[in-house]
Structure 1
């Protein structure tokens, strides 16, 4: 009987093997679809986030930022460009680019505004507020070749305590203010064979009456993009200003910048669903010389399973 039953068993095994192999191929395909690099020459996958609460891994709650990285791992395409604000220093940037390279498809590198920022006056290593803060642009080094950089400091009123006087660089006050040191870089896209310039900006907070100089700060950001050139220009970061402050958003529009979030919500003043810090929309991804967007989103806590920073990220596929 065992001999007679051997054929059906072998047949069943063959069928089961085929099913399992097919399932494995399907699973591999599904996994790949959720973890792929962007190979299109037509668009870039861009993210921006102020990572002020991304703490060292030695801190008990240093895992909080895992939520955004887990979210990125589940997206169809990993970021081509990721602008970050309030990164601590070169060491933390290196840690972040290594982690992205280890956990996401693609290889990542970054350029920082100031490698070793001055003290913000905070004393707790694991506190909510980082003692060192500056800005950086992260990019896929397996797609882009780094070409050039420009750096500049954001403006606040001359008398930043009173909020009076002309706009001028916010130099060290009672703290370093190196978090308002911006960086722009030009990259050559080896897939699209085009140059793209990207800036990571952080403008002064309301403590220093920064919103009063938002119009000057968008002007200086555009001038920095002009210095770098490029077929596509992206200015992203924490403006610490809402679209109506000092007319800066309208100025940016007049310079040729488009706001993917505003175009998605239908107005420069979006609903609370698009707020990026408390009840304000102050984090932006602005694009000049682009040909439209897709997959535009404000990355909310419900999308990541909880808070990952005080600020929400913004993202878009940006067309050349």
Structure 2
């Protein structure tokens, strides 16, 4: 033990002499002023890539490990347990997850990837040393039942295709470090195949209703909305009526001056192909920092191509 300590001290002394700073090891977040939040449609990790190794390698290079990780289209409770165990084993901190549907129904097909993706739902992963769950709510997203026809309604299985991937989950946590409550929602709204974007405004209204009832100092909505910000007016209502911040828009897209207009975000903020359909929305707190749209080149992802989001969400 003494030899190992001496070797470490000697290496540090050499690094200091050469003017080289040793790499900073990742640590848990002990700052009561903010939470480290990630969001990702994890189908791209549990599909062709399968073992999550590249994303975890990316996380290890960051200064702080996640406090919250909202995920969409994870297969089932077994796969969630596998992922949280990997996070607990390889990152500082211990992780658990709360899933929308423990054993989702079949989507009616089998993926050609290494891991079958015929089961899909959503979940919230949290660091147990920081957060304690207090109350959980689950609800279904809305879409026309027969694709483009009919009103927006709860979308259940049809044509032998389970829609458990649109069962959302929201949890109110107690932050044991800050001494405050925070509510987090992981959502997945229906795809364009089901004319989902047409119901985006109703799904935003339903999401906000759940989050407001759960309460908390800060409220976070993270997910794959499958809708651009201009579709059905949902994004405008989220910002003006429900008072959410779109952390990516605010950090990378919004006009810097009153006279300068910004109609689109840069290509680097697209989360699926050339579209921005994954969002991290917050309200009730102060600004966010360390906002990033994480490229697939950094974390892998050959199946669905969704890019992850990160932000430090301040109280």
Which whole-Å deviations, capped at 9, do the CAs of 1:200-239 have from their partners, x for residues lacking one?
0000000000000000001000011012111110000100
| Equivalent in 192, 195, 201 of residue 215 of structure 1 | 201
Q: Which residue of 1 aligns with 2:238?
A: 252
Match of 2:157 among 162, 168, 172: 172
Larger radius of gyration: 1
CA RMSD across the alignment: 2.4
Aligned counterpart, 1:69: 56
Q: Name the CA distance, whole Å, in 1 between partners of 2:103 and 2:197.
A: 26
CA distance in 1, matches of 2:230, 2:175: 34
Check conservation: 2:181, 2:217, Cα contact below 8 A.
Answer: yes
1:319 aligns with 2:314: yes
1:82 to partner: Cα distance: 0.2
Give the corresponding residue for 1:50.
41
Q: How far apart are the structure 1 equivalents of 2:75 and 2:7?
A: 54
Deviation digits for residues 106-129 of structure 1 (CA, Å, limit 9, x no counterpart): 110110000000001123574576
Q: Could you list the runs of 5+ residues in structure 1 that have no partner in the other structure? A: 1-14
Instruction: Give matches, 1:93-242, under 5 Å.
Output: 93-124=80-111, 126=113, 130-160=117-147, 163-174=148-159, 175-242=161-228
Q: Is the 8 A contact 1:122 1:131 kept in 2?
A: yes
TM-score (norm 2): 0.88
Among candidates 281, 287, 303, match of residue 286 of structure 1? 281
**CA offsets 1:37-96 (integer angstroms, 9 cap, x no match):** 00000001000000113338xx8x534x32111100110000000000000000000001
Pick the structure with more helix per residue: 1
- Runs of 5+ consecutive residues of structure 2 not aligned to the other structure: 1-5, 255-262
The count of corresponding residues between Structure 1 and Structure 2 is: 297
Any idea what SS the aligned residue of 1:54 has? helix
| 3-state DSSP of counterpart to 1:280 | coil
Given that 1:49 and 1:312 are in contact with CA atoms closer than 8 Å, whether structure 2 keeps it comes out as yes
Match of 1:8 in 2: none
Inter-partner Cα distance in structure 1 for 2:7 and 2:287: 48
Equivalent residue in structure 2 for 1:80, among 57, 64, 67: 67
In the aligned structure 2, how far is the partner of 1:306 from the partner of 1:219?
31
Q: In structure 2, what is the Cα distance between the partners aligned to 1:16 and 1:232? A: 45
